[in-house]
Amino acid sequence: MVESSYTFRYRSLARRREFFYPMTTTTTSPAEFSMHRPHNSDRTGAVRWVWSHARRHGWIITMLVLGAIGNAALAAVVPVLTGDAFNAMLKPTPDTSVLLPLALTIGFSQILRGVLQLGRNFGAERTKNGTSGTR
């Protein structure tokens, strides 16, 4: 049973009736929030405490790291392939046959990059908010 009441410490506010409303709330649940499965964390040190929480959500952290690395790697693809396209066009006899494969490769790489960014952002949000998604 949880009981609470609101009171003011300052007499000037307590004298004015509109600012002084005592309130009692009673609930029948033992706690407002409860964990579905309690987790015993290792509290012998700061690193062990963080690791004991992080290893429960390994797939989320893996998604976050792979998304960040993939995003960084695929961000470098566009300038490299654009440079290849310019080099092909600046030859004495321009080679236009490489433009379509380069454009398709750039497009596919950026779609994949977007998916990896989504995974990275999802992993970061789930790590920040916990796995329940309600905080």
In a domain, 75, yes or no: yes
pLDDT at residue 28 above 70?
A: no
* Residue 67 and residue 120 in contact, taking contact as beta carbons nearer than 8 Å: yes
- What residue numbers bound the domain in which 96 lies? 11-129
In a domain, 1, yes or no: no
Tell me how far apart the terminal alpha carbons of the chain are, to the nearest angstrom: 24
**Cα–Cα distance for residue pair 74/116, rounded to 1 Å:** 9
What single-letter amino acid sits at 131? T
pLDDT at residue 26 above 80?
A: no
In a domain, 108, yes or no: yes
- Residue 25's pLDDT is 54
In a domain, 69, yes or no: yes
Length of the chain in residues, anyone?
135
Mean pLDDT across 21-28: 54
**Cα–Cα distance for residue pair 103/97, rounded to 1 Å:** 11
Domain count, the chain: 1
What is the overall mean pLDDT for the chain?
77
In a domain, 2, yes or no: no
Q: For residue 76, what are the CA distances in angstroms to 57, 86, 100, 109, 130?
A: 30, 16, 19, 10, 32
Stronger pLDDT, 131 or 83, i.e. the higher one: 83
* Residue 86 and residue 124 in contact, taking contact as beta carbons nearer than 8 Å: no
Confidence of residue 135 (pLDDT cuts 50, 70, 90): very low
